[in-house]
Chain A
Amino acid sequence: MTATDAFALELKDLRKSFGKTEIIRGVNLAVRHGERVAIIGPNGAGKSTLFNLISGRFGASSGDVLLNGTAINGMKPYEINRLGLSRSFQITNIFPKLSVFENLRCSVLWSLGYKYTFFKFLANLDDANARATELLKMVNLEKKHDVLAVNLTYAEQRALEIGITIGGGANVILLDEPTAGMSKSETTRFIALIRQVTEGKTLLTVEHDMGVVFGLADKIAVIVYGEVIAFDTPDAVRANPRVQEAYLGSAVADAQAGGH
């Protein structure tokens, strides 16, 4: 399978500099349809920057990003989103003064073709309302239907964030540290939720919790100083001496000792 559109997402020699500092230094990565990829690496390795480049938040200095074979570098975030790529944020990024239901409904409107419509009532958009209700169930927030997003607990806000991310029906989902700041039990439940709602989709996630990484991912990409030093199955990455030397080491041992 060498054809480009065999891949859901492909990065070709992607580079990004801030001033004179090169943060992303020639990243190549090809993710197949339906694969779950965890991106790991030490703090400051460029994981979030990579997500920002892919999703159009920043423009790349050079290189290409291909989404289902289409070059998307230089596009605006909303253009990329319309092509079927959606992302969540490390810092919770929701609509605080709208209700939970409204938050989710906002995330589905574009994909259902409502665009900038102002001659239809939201209440009459049966498909949008059904989809938002379905999302509400998926992220287990049915009881919070009318609660303002700002009044949710942290874990609920993270769940809402996931709901907004998958709302538009994107096929490629980027989750930036979805479980950051959660307790152990919350994390376990949350990973199950992520598995469920991203079923059949291509998933890229930045994650620090090694237990989560090895439990969730089909493949792991290890980034160190803006370069992908390994991209393989969890077992292969675990065995990779270069990875162990550069980054994993004790973290892998911990995950294994933790009953993995």
Chain B
Amino acid sequence: MSNQKQRSPLNVGRWVTWSLFAVVLLVAPMVFTSGLGLTVLSQMGIAIIACLSYNMLLGQGGMLSFGHAVYTGLGAFLAIHALNAVSSGDLPIPVSAVPIVGGLAGMGFAALLGYVTTRKAGTTFAMITMGMGELVFAMSLMIPEFFGGEGGVSGNRVIGKAFLGITYGPPIQVYYLIAVYTFIAVALMFAFTRTPLGRMLNAVRDNPERVEFVGYNTQRVRYTAFIIAGFFAGISGGLGALNFEIVTAEVVHAARSGAYLLFTFLGGATFFFGPIIGAVLMVLAFVLFSEFTKAWLLYLGLIFLFMVMYAPGGFASLIMMNLRVAAFGKLRQLWLSYLGLAITGLIALAGAAAMIEMTYHLQLSSSQGSEIVFMGVTLNTTGVGHWLAAAVVMLIGSGLFEMVRRRFAREWEEIQAYIEKKTNGEDAQ
């Protein structure tokens, strides 16, 4: 079992992965050419950096922060002020470098506030970060000179002479700036996980006490990682400032911090790429799903609930588990069950969603009549029959789902036992 032998094929795989990532970033705006598509893509890049920087704390360091928006947010504010300074000619840097200012700001504030928060771990750490978040948000209302009050601070990214035709006027140019930053930031954050500090951060997550007895100061490990995470968070904030050309106090709000936490978790904190999935979902939920239905937060809450209960490793762990099954050639056995789960799940969801939509309609917009159109069907929110029908659909769907789920669970266990036997057999040889 030489290391060299193991490493080389992995490196090829890694090279392919990174090339694919670059290609996806490159061609994505050619596939989604609409204005909305570009907006969504730009925000995804920004969110990916933010969620990955958050996961440096949560997944890699076991630090449950409730205040990560402080660092993305303050990075955004410093970046928009820097942009305005560039406009007025006070700051001689190119617009492309403005996100770096955000990064340095995030890093600076992480160094300042993290000095307090990272002295503690676990619940205490979580509580202090929450307090810091509240503190900074309260401050944002108290100091309108810096935070711009309710209107926020706006800027203009189209300044100075065009450099190689790049003015950052068209959104596509901003997208590619974000894409470049995203690629580099993701690569750097991945590289971090392969360094001595990155590994000791995992060790601190696993067993802080033991770390102290192999020569490391756990506080210093957490603190250093916190500062690095703050830098990338600030980069993300700075890109956001360039993208929107306005920064308001909501960027440091607890809701933003909560979103980073929830979507990082949803994507999967135990794998490096998990938060990338989470970030993509976050933008889809906030930009698209919220247009789709007023009850989107409720659906989101339900999704989180089920994920925490049934797949605490997030989407990334679901993907990895199925890849493992596929590696042993057993995925084909499961497709029927997956299809069944999807169909019955959708039926149950349709019933439940119909009732949720009717409830929301009754509560919020009953003045616009009692009828709503849901999935092409006109439902009468005051008609008992429609409520009953929706309930029946939901119950039947749930019942069928449970039947399929039991079958699936049985198959899954058999396959896991098979894999277990195979891998143990190889160990013994």
Contact = CB atoms under 8 A, between A and B. Distances in A.
B7 A123 contact: yes
Contacts of B199: 98, 102, 105-106, 109, 122
Contacts of B206: 95-98
A88 B214 CA distance: 10
A122 B207 contact: no
Contact of A116 (B197, B203, B213): B197
Nearest to A121: B194
A106 B197 CA distance: 10
A117 to B, nearest CB: 5
B195 A117 contact: yes
Interface in A102-160: 102, 105-107, 109-111, 114-123, 125, 128-129, 133, 142-143, 145
A164 interface: yes
A128 B228 CA distance: 24
Interface stretch (A20-28, A78-86, A249-257): A78-86
B202 interface: yes
B192 interface: yes
A168 B215 contact: yes
B215 A118 contact: no
A206 interface: no
B376 to A, nearest CB: 48
A94 interface: yes
Contacts of B228: 118
Contact of A118 (B198, B214, B217): B198
A95 B213 contact: no
Nearest to A119: B195
A15 interface: no
A78 B214 CA distance: 7
B170 interface: no
Contacts of B51: none
A37 B274 CA distance: 50
B198 A164 contact: no
A86 B213 contact: yes
Q: DSSP class of B's interface residues: helix, strand, loop or mixed?
A: helix
A76 interface: yes
A210 to B, nearest CB: 28
Contact of B214 (A76, A98, A106, A121): A106
B191 interface: yes
A120 B199 CA distance: 12
Contacts of A123: 7, 194
A116 B196 contact: yes
Contacts of B7: 123
A93 interface: yes
Nearest to B217: A78
Contact of B202 (A76, A97, A114, A145): A97
B202 A120 contact: no
Nearest to A117: B196
Interface string B184-222: 000000011011111110110111011111111100110
B224 A76 contact: no
A120 B1 CA distance: 24
B1 A142 contact: yes
Given A95-B206, A116-B224, A121-B195, A109 B212 contact: no
A171 interface: no
Given A95-B206, A98-B203, A145-B1, A82 B197 contact: no
12 contacts: A81-B213, A93-B213, A94-B210, A96-B206, A109-B199, A109-B214, A109-B216, A117-B195, A117-B197, A118-B197, A122-B194, A128-B196
Interface of B: 1, 3, 7, 191-192, 194-200, 202-203, 205-207, 209-217, 220-221, 224, 228, 427
